[in-house]
Chain A
Amino acid sequence: MLAFIIRRILQSFAVMAVVAFIAFALFNFTGDPVTFMVGQDATQEERARLRSDLGLDLPFYVQFGRFVGRAIQGDFGLSLRQGRKVSTLLKERLPATLELAFVAAVLALVLGVPAGVYTALRRDSWLSQLLLAISLIGVSLPTFLIGILLILVFAVVLGWLPSFGRGDTVALGWWTTGFLTKSGLKALILPAITLSLFQMTLIMRLVRAEMLEVLRTDYIKFARARGLTDRTVHFGHALKNTLVPVITITGLQLGAIIAFAIITETVFQWPGMGLLFIQAVSFADVPVMAAYLCFIALVFVLINLIVDLLYYAVDPRLRIERLAAAQ
């Protein structure tokens, strides 16, 4: 078990190093930040001075070495646009994105899994048909369109919910939360639904497909032949067997929720990291972009690690191998 975790962590480091390199290399070719920073009438000397101040005149590998060295210490340098520390910027934006992603993920799971089970067990009920029809919309409509539609209906026409921003937040140390104020919670609803709808429908369809598969197996038939109640058979025997693929996909989708909150954050002007990233892209703000990418990579790596560990909890076949390997 320990060997497994250590191996996975080492692998994670390798992944992170590659991501950092790619991120850094890519963004060196996205445009010249100096052009954005100084005015059009700046002289050649002024540009050169700024360039050397920022270390942009150094060879690529030196720049990268410095970047990695500092990044390990949590220092991603200064934002070229705002002149503030990137780590501070990310830290400010992190709570907004994580809270949004958390609510969206919980929504997706809490509604997606039961809906999937229901549509698998009651294939012919009208509610199943309705849920499947809605899920088709959820899977096929692009996120920004859903966001805009929700804004149109609930913010513009009905005027129930705010169309942008985070509402009032409360600071808990460096963490700012929107959970504790009424306006913060209200502001959370539309973006969370927008962000979760795709994942929710995906999870629902996945659970349904897996469940239908499992219900056909011999061990379900045998469980019923032993006279177990439907509830035991469905939720004890069948659901547990559907969970392995569901956990895999859900884990990856959680990463995707955080990473691709960009669109939702843009539509709702949600002050999270995605919005920060979009603004950084339009300004060729390399340190911010690189830091953001590294952070997202870290999220994915961590989630994958957790998912791998969760398999053990669910599937005894893996657990035994682990014991055997440990002995």
Chain B
Amino acid sequence: MALLEVEGLTVEFGSVATPLTAVDDVDLSIDAGEIVGCVGESGSGKSVTALALMGLVDFPGRVRARRMVFDGRELLSLSDAERRALTGKDIAMIFQDPLASLNPCFSVAFQLTETLRMHGTPEERGSARLRRARALELLQQVEIPDPTARLAAFPHQLSGGMAQRVMIAMAIACNPRLLIADEPTTALDVTVQAQVLDLLLRLQQERGMALLLITHDLAVVAETAQRVIVMYAGEQVETGPVPEIFDTPQHPYTRALLDALPEHNLDRARLKAIPGVVPGQYDRPAGCLLSPRCDFALARCSIDRPPLDGPAGRKVRCHFALDAAGRPTHGWSEEAAAGAVADTR
């Protein structure tokens, strides 16, 4: 039984009549102690998915799901108070911009102990001294130099990497079973990125917590995650175990993402890129959402939206899923030869 199981997660913004679907029918399951990567370019709905899992999508956003079970409890049927008791305790989250995510008006110690006062063990809730000791211990665990002095510091006195460590310390303060990391290293220097990532992985190992790692750094996912979800324009386009999905991507979008990596472009003058941008509210294609940008799009692609299809744990949303050599299958060449090339591009 998975720790978190989500089926058909949908998040909409805007009016009911003409909603903007930020996340569309996403399935997700994370086992205890597992690392799942979630990749996609900006605007593909990764962060909104994370916020929906945390219950932090604000009105007027609407979250729906057929099932959203954490540790045997259906999250969407919990009361606000019950949900809040889980949020920050069993499910924690860290954000992209660490300096903007710490309140400038309060010291590190205050913000750390505040979490403990809210969710800590009964002893921690009762004793300020114990909370302070725990806060110090947490700063040590996230490898902050001179933790005693840092307790009194305010966020603006911290560097980006240090702030991210503080944020991680706050997130793990109450031993969460699942940590959602929303682009935890994007805002940091490259050298610091590696350190923070190492720290996250070490903590994940030591504590056996599950980690949902949201990123657009495919290399990071390739190194760390056991499974990957590829998202595009709010939809899941491909999902599968890690070596496979990188070795034999079946969706043209995953393929294009991998092709755009600098490592795969060593012999080229220019980086290979995906033309265009993620469709917004008003230019959402009727068929496959990738069809205007896809190298292989045929007439059918721009009319008919493909379902997420495939064996359990290895699903792809494409009419002509790619084979190991990166060629479209399912009769693509026949259809293309029949002159049915999409005129959308």
Contacts and interface: CB of A to CB of B under 8 A. Distances in A.
A317 B156 contact: yes
A315 interface: yes
Q: How many residues of B sit at the interface, in one of the four size bands?
A: 20 to 34
Contacts of B167: 222
Interface in B227-275: none
Interface in B92-106: 92-97, 100-106
B28 to A, nearest CB: 18
Contacts of B101: 218-219, 221-222
B29 interface: no
A213 B114 CA distance: 23
Nearest to A221: B56
B131 interface: no
B87 interface: yes
Interface stretch (A105-113, A161-169, A187-195, A223-231): A223-231
B286 interface: no
Interface in B72-102: 84-89, 92-97, 100-102
Given A232-B114, A314-B105, A227 B100 contact: no
Contacts, number: 81
A8 B119 CA distance: 46
Nearest to B54: A225
A227 B89 contact: yes
A222 B102 contact: yes
Contacts of B107: 316
A225 B84 contact: no
Interface centre among B97, B103, B157, B171 (most CB of A within 10 A): B103
Interface of A: 217-219, 221-229, 232, 237, 240-241, 314-317, 320
A272 B118 CA distance: 52
Majority-rule SS of A interface residues: helix
Interface of B: 51, 54, 56, 84-89, 92-97, 100-107, 114-115, 118-119, 154, 156-157, 167, 170-171
Contacts of A224: 56, 87
A315 B86 contact: no
A95 B55 CA distance: 55
A266 to B, nearest CB: 42
Contact of A228 (B88, B96, B104): B88
A240 B87 contact: no
B121 to A, nearest CB: 15
B56 A227 contact: no
- Among A224, A225, A320, max chain B CB count under 10 A is at A225
A237 B118 contact: no
A313 to B, nearest CB: 11
Contacts of B54: 225
Nearest to A240: B105
A156 B285 CA distance: 68
A237 B106 CA distance: 8
Contacts of A229: 84, 118
